[in-house]
Amino acid sequence: MASLIFVTGGVVSSLGKGISSASLAAILEARGLKVTLVKLDPYINVDPGTMSPFQHGEVFVTQDGAETDLDLGHYERFVHTRMSRLNNYTTGKIYEKVIAKERRGDYLGATVQVIPHVTDEIKSSVEKAAEGYDVAMIEIGGTVGDIESLPFLEAIRQLGVEYRDRALFMHLTLVPYLKAAGEIKTKPTQHSVKELRSIGIQPDILLCRSEKLLADGERRKIALFTNVPEEAVISAVDVDSIYKIPLYLHDQGLDSIVVKRLNLIAEPADLSDWREVCDRMDNPQHTVTVAMVGKYVEHSDAYKSLTEALCHGGLRQRIRVNITRLESESLEDGGVEALHDADAILVPGGFGGRGFEGKVKAIRYARENGVPYLGICYGMQAAVVEFARNVCGLDGANSTEIDPQSPHPVIGLITEWLDRSGQVETRDEESDYGGTMRLGGQRCRLREGSLSRSLYGREVITERHRHRYEFNNHYRDIVQKHGMLIAGTSTDETLVEMIELPDHPWFVACQFHPEFTSTPRDGHPLFRNFIEAALKAQQNQVPGVANL
């Protein structure tokens, strides 16, 4: 049976439980242990698929098609274990299962209650996800004291009793530095641990987030008031790259404390790959600027996997990537001057009509001026629309998501472009809006002779999807006649997956989300070559002159 490490947080949210969990998992994996991670989210949504990116950040999609919390993206970037729908449970998903069992009569007429029925479902979900691993890290979303977190905290308290020496509690808390007083304050941590102990959980390890390194005296004070051994009070100060955190935690002996406490048989940690990643980040030889033209750019977490993938793309060639985030709506009324300093342009995924024309405008600029362009999901669809309008001469070409009455629906729901009678699918108001997308890993066949085929180095690839609308096959011939290459399709050739412009220095767009499989240690072929193309464009550009 797996050993369980429970990660909780206190005082405030967004302290970095996900990064801390992933970092410790990376160290344990470097010690030869097989590790997985689980995120328990207290919100009532069944999954984050229908939540606004402004509120929740990006939706991370797993290989098996689950729409999950963005922390699962951190998990996959730090460890080699691939996540699945078993690795993320919400209050909504747990209650959905409990209610389904009650309706089937599985509880044999018992009064269904939070304890034991809801907590048993949580425990069962955790244990199912942990099967086959040496260690499972269980992260509880939110903060201690939140009313919605209580069933999860009670469930892990029970698991702690049941697993005994094979369970460990790690609590992440804030130790603020007050500049006016010139002091670090430990009282919030004391109260956070007091709250945790009031529900029956005694932390074994404290990770203390602070602007400054904790002095020995402060660590002793925290240990005294929280009943945690002094060596288990770990400083978690801010660093300039999240990929340095495994090294930093290892230097403080966190993994040794865990291995000893859980009686694990582990090898010495081999963190050479993480040291190499950090060295490449700290010692770049070049810098490029990528303009990301999106509609959620105000929220840093909305494109989390994407911004990380761009940075990963430059590591092999020691290229630092500066990302200029441009709100696509701002390009609709204004000019494209904001794009002039960009070495490359990327249009990411998204939904809805807001800012669509700004994306089309940015794509036209990239196409006409030879600026390297990468379009992802919605970015591919917008590229098809732009090409249809301005190269193929199809006035009014659009996606039916934007204009259902478009005379040239080059992008549409598959039911729209497959139905020659012209009947348009309408969504039943009672239908499950979160269940109407193409999700998860799907196979794609790459065309021989295409740039994409050469980058991946193989004919058939598997990438993750999250979208509803598709390239309209009725327009394949006309776009190809005007110079667009259909570089990738589904293996049965019914769905367009990748497009290229062969007469452009670098213009590639894909219907899938390659950012979900990019990692700092390996990168991703599309992002690596995109960043290399940006550097080449920069070096060919006359200093001080826009790339026109």
Q: How far apart are CA 362 and CA 290, in angstroms?
A: 12
Q: Is 121 helix (H, G, I), strand (E, B) or coil?
A: helix
377, 392, 444, 510: which is the annotated catalytic residue? 377
- From the list 334, 411, 403, 335, the residue with the least C-alpha distance to 375 is 411
Task: Please say whether the beta carbons of 299 and 57 come within 8 A.
Answer: yes
Q: Residue 467 — φ and ψ, nearest 5°?
A: -165, 165
Using left for φ > 0, alpha for ψ between -120 and 50, and beta otherwise, residue 29 falls in: alpha
117, 408, 513, 524: which is the annotated catalytic residue? 513
The answer for residues whose C-beta is within 8 angstroms of residue 409's C-beta and 6 or more apart is 397, 398, 399, 400, 403, 416, 417, 472
Q: Is the Cα dihedral 412, 417, 418, 420 positive or negative?
A: positive
In the annotation, is 131 catalytic? no
In the annotation, is 515 catalytic? yes
Task: Please say whether the beta carbons of 370 and 505 come within 8 A.
Answer: yes
Q: How far apart are CA 264 and CA 133, in angstroms?
A: 12
- From the list 198, 243, 284, 231, the residue with the least C-alpha distance to 22 is 243
Q: How far apart are CA 186 and CA 178, in angstroms?
A: 11
Q: How far apart are CA 17 and CA 174, in angstroms?
A: 11
In the annotation, is 392 catalytic? no
Q: Which long-range contacts (CB under 8 A, 24 or more apart) does 389-398 make?
A: 389/360, 390/364, 391/482, 391/483, 391/484, 392/478, 392/479, 392/482, 394/475, 394/478
Q: How far apart are CA 185 and CA 174, in angstroms?
A: 9
- Catalytic residue set: 377, 513, 515
